[in-house]
A and B are shown apart, each in its own frame.
Chain A
Amino acid sequence: MRFDRRGFLAGATAATAAAASAPATAATMPGTVTLPMENGTRPLVAFPQKRPLIMLSPRPPLLETPFAVFDGDVLTPNDAFYVRWHLSGIPQTVDGAAHRIRIHGRVKRPLSLSVDDLRTKFAPVSIVAVNQCSGNSRGLFAPRVAGGQWDNGAMGNARWTGVRLTDVLAKAGLEDGARQIRFHGLERPVLPTTPPFVKALSLDDVTDHGDILIAYEMNGAPLPLLNGYPVRLVVPGWFATYWMKMLVDIEAIDTVDDNFWMKTAYRIPQTPGNTVKPTDTGYPTVPINRLAVRSFITSVADGATLHPGAQTLRGIAFDGGSGIAAVDVSTDGGASWRPARLGEDYGDYSFRRWEFDLHATRGKRYVLACRAHAHSGETQTATAVWNPGGYLRNVIETYRVTVA
C-alpha cells in the first residue's frame, strides 16, 4: 500500500503545485442550500483543496458543485469540482512519488509504473472531457429512488493530461486471451466483507475508444486528493464510475468481470431509451456506459427574475463523445425553437458553451428550455427517463422566469 495514515505533516509548505490554487486551511462554512427535492437541504462545506461545496455526505465524501459554477469558465476549477467516493476507506495521505501502478494479468511483460515513468516514458496527451457521475440528477427522479441524492451538479469539465491506456497496454503486451481490463484504486471498504470497488472495461471498448487516459494532471495541476491524486483513469464520453481514482492496479483478465460493482450495481435497463416503469421487472440490463446528451442554461436559474430588454442567455451542452452539433432554445416551454450560437470547440468530449439572444418584455413570463443535438443524432426529449438506479437523466431542462 503506497500511502500512510500519518496526520498533519508539521513544517510542510503550501507553496506547491498541488496547493497553489487552494487555501492552505479549509473550513466548514456557514450556510446551506436547498435543492429542488424532498429532503433537499444541504450544508455548504469546504473540504481540503476545495471551496465550499454542497455536502450530501461527509463519509464517504459526496460533494456537489453549485450550479452557478458552470456559468464561469468552460473548464470547471479543480477546487469546485464535485467529489464522489463509494467507500469510506480513503487514504488521507498519498505519496505521489512512491505511488506505483501495477499492470499485470494476461500480459507478456508485467509492469510497475511510477507517475514519473508515466511522464517520461510515454507520450503526453491532453483531452478536455466531461466527468459526470452516473447518478447525476438522481434526486430529480419521479418517483424518487434511493441513492446519492444529487441535483445537476455531480459533473465537471476539465483538461486531463496523462498517457494513453493503450500505450501502456502495448508496452505490457496483451496476451491473446485478454477479454477485459480491470481497474482498482486505493479506495478501500471499511469492512473486509464489503466488495472492493473494482471496475472493468471490455478490451473492445478500450481499443475502439483510444482516448482513455491515465491522467496525472487536471487543468494543468495535480489532481486534488479527493479527485484521485496522484493518477486516475479518464474515460472520455463515459460515466465517471469507470474513471478510477487513485489508480493502482490494471489487470488484463480472460473473463468478464462479475464483481458486485459490474454485475449488480451500475446497471441500466437494456430497453428502448434505457427507461422502464417503476412496476416493471425482469428486463435485461447492461453496465452503464456512455453519457446521454444534455444541455443546461447556466446564466438563469429556474424561478429567476430577468430584467426587461435585450440580453444573452448562456449555457452548456455535452454528450457521450460525438460532439454537439446544435443547441436550440425555446422561450415558450418547447412549443417553438430557435438555434443558439455555439461557442469555442474544446473537443467532442467537452462542455460546449452556447449563447442565445433574448428580448424580454416587462411583465411577461417565459418558460425557457434548451435542447442539444449531438453529432451521433441523439437529442433530448421532454419526457424524463426512469430506471431504479437513477441513471441517465437527460430530459429537456425548463426554467420558468418572470420579467420585472
Chain B
Amino acid sequence: MSARTFRLAFVALALPLLGAAAGTVTINAPADTVRFKPGPGVNLAVANCMTCHSAAYIYTQPRLTRAQWTGEVTKMKAAYGAPIDAATIPGIVDYLMTQDGKE
C-alpha cells in the first residue's frame, strides 16, 4: 500500500435492500506525510525503514539507548525479514541515535 494511493476520501457500495449485508467498501486513507529529518545516515533510514512502516512509528518511540536501537533494527532484519545489509546496521543506528537516542 503505497503512500501515493492514500487519499482523503472513502466511499462504500452496498446493496441497500439488504440493509447491513455485505457490499464493497473502499477507503483511501490519509497520506503518510512524516519524513525522516535530514542528518548523517538519513538515506539509510529512508531506504531500510520506510518500506514496511511509517517514520512516525519511529518518532513516537521513547528515547532508546544504542543497544536498544540496535536490538530493534536487528529484529527488523532477523524477525521481520527486512533485507537490511548487516554492515549498514551501525549506520542506521547512528542516525536513529541523532533523532531520538538516549546517550
Contacts and interface: CB of A to CB of B under 8 A. Distances in A.
A97 B20 contact: no
Given A12-B11, A47-B30, A264 B79 contact: yes
B25 A18 contact: yes
Contact of A47 (B27, B33, B64, B72): B27
Interface string B38-58: 000000000000011110110
Contact of B53 (A7, A88, A93): A88
A112 B57 CA distance: 37
Interface hub of B3, B11, B22, B53 (most chain A Cβ within 10 A): B22
A190 interface: yes
B13 A13 contact: yes
A119 B60 contact: no
Contact of A97 (B24, B54, B68): B24
A362 to B, nearest CB: 39
Interface residues of A, number: 76
Given A115-B21, A191-B51, A42 B60 contact: yes
A61 B22 contact: no
Contact of A96 (B25, B28, B54, B80): B25
A347 B57 CA distance: 36
Interface in A96-152: 96-97, 99, 114-116, 119, 139, 144-146, 148-149
25 contacts: A7-B5, A7-B7, A8-B11, A8-B26, A14-B11, A16-B16, A16-B23, A24-B9, A26-B30, A39-B61, A48-B9, A59-B32, A59-B57, A88-B52, A92-B26, A93-B24, A95-B22, A95-B24, A97-B21, A146-B68, A191-B83, A193-B83, A220-B20, A225-B10, A230-B25
Interface of B: 1, 3, 5-16, 19-34, 51-54, 56-57, 59-64, 68, 71-72, 79-83, 100
Interface of A: 5-9, 12-19, 22, 24-28, 37-39, 42, 45-49, 55-62, 87-90, 92-97, 99, 114-116, 119, 139, 144-146, 148-149, 189-195, 216-217, 220-222, 225-226, 229-230, 260, 264-265
